[in-house]
Amino acid sequence: MKENRASDKVGSDLIFVIGSSNTDMVVKTDKLPLPGETQLGGVFYMSGGGKGANQAVAAARLGGVVSLVTKLGNDIFGKQAIADFKKENIHTEFVFVDNEKPSGTALIMVNEQGENCIAVAPGANANLMPADIDRVKNLGEATIILTQLEIPMQTVQYIAVKAKRNHQKLILNPAPAQKLNEDLLEDLFLIAPNEAETHFLTGIRVEDAQTASLAASVLLNKGVQNVMITMGSKGVYFQNRHLQMKLNAPVVNAIDSTGAGDVFCGAVAVALTERMDWEPVLRFAVEAASMSVTRLGAQSSAPYRTEMMS
């Protein structure tokens, strides 16, 4: 019999997002510049970013009970970020302040097709260490822990060990792509890479459901329980030991793909706490991500639950 339940009941329905927070500085251009080339841009704007913060905002807007664990600088960017998190109803008790390093920043260029290129200065994100995770006293109460790779790898590995010890479901968005050791993979309830990250992790280029299945099998054989491969406008592929599924994305007018993967991950976390089956989880997350690419910005593009049809 196929297993089609996304999540069993584990404690209370809390989502802890552990990861980075940045201030994004964005320029919209006709096309992305080549090395050494200057492009005259159009719109410039600043907004909250960082994969951890993006995913926390997305999950909160979609109805999740969210705590964010991150580290900011003691500067104007950090103070603004905390104020913004509170406006989003995100619990900020464990948003730590670093008096040595500045808040993280990202420089982003977006072309007319919605494609982007990004350079990140991590700042205080690089100082979110295992000792900080020990300061999160109620982490063991989380139903879902969601993390990424814009914080130190030793911290991600420490989170994985704690989650496994507490029988919690850990979701890893392996971005930006880095080598993952086998012990970490064995601790994951779910991994959610995009096509480029999947190629980095498995050596397989994902072009369709068949190649996605081959790549997912590599990750499952390394101990991951569930694999979701996001494929941009082509949708998402899911696989575990019992189920394989490919869902297409709706056709939309994409203007900015920044943060779409983060919206997807935040939506998955919310859907899992609501005990959705796997197919509704995927549909909910794909719909949310597809809505986000029709808007500018990372956090600012995340949809609210009232906008969702699912």
- What ranges make up the beta strands (E) of the chain? 14-18, 22-28, 44-49, 65-73, 95-98, 104-110, 116-121, 144-147, 169-172, 190-191, 226-230, 236-240, 244-247
CB atoms within 10 A of CB 13: 18
- Contact by Cβ (8 Å): 106, 119: yes
> How far is it, in rounded angstroms, from Cα 302 to Cα 264?
9
The DSSP element (H or E) to which 190 belongs, if any, is strand 190-191
Q: Mark 67-95 as b/e (b = at least 16 C-beta within 10 Å).
A: bbbbbbbebebbeebbebbeebebbbebb
Nearest to 45 by CA among 69, 25, 30, 72: 25
User: Does the N-terminal peptide bond of residue 35 adopt cis geometry, omega within 30 degrees of 0?
Assistant: no
- Beta-carbon contacts of 279 under 8 Å, excluding residues fewer than 6 positions away, are 4, 245, 247
Q: How far apart are CA 23 and CA 215, in angstroms?
A: 34
Is position 262 annotated as part of the catalytic site? yes
C-alpha closest to that of 151 among 122, 178, 171: 122
H or E, element range at 83? helix 76-87
What DSSP state is assigned to residue 302?
Answer: P
Q: Which tokens belong to 166?
A: 């507490």
- Check 75, 183, 262, 277 and give the catalytic one: 262
Catalytic positions: 262
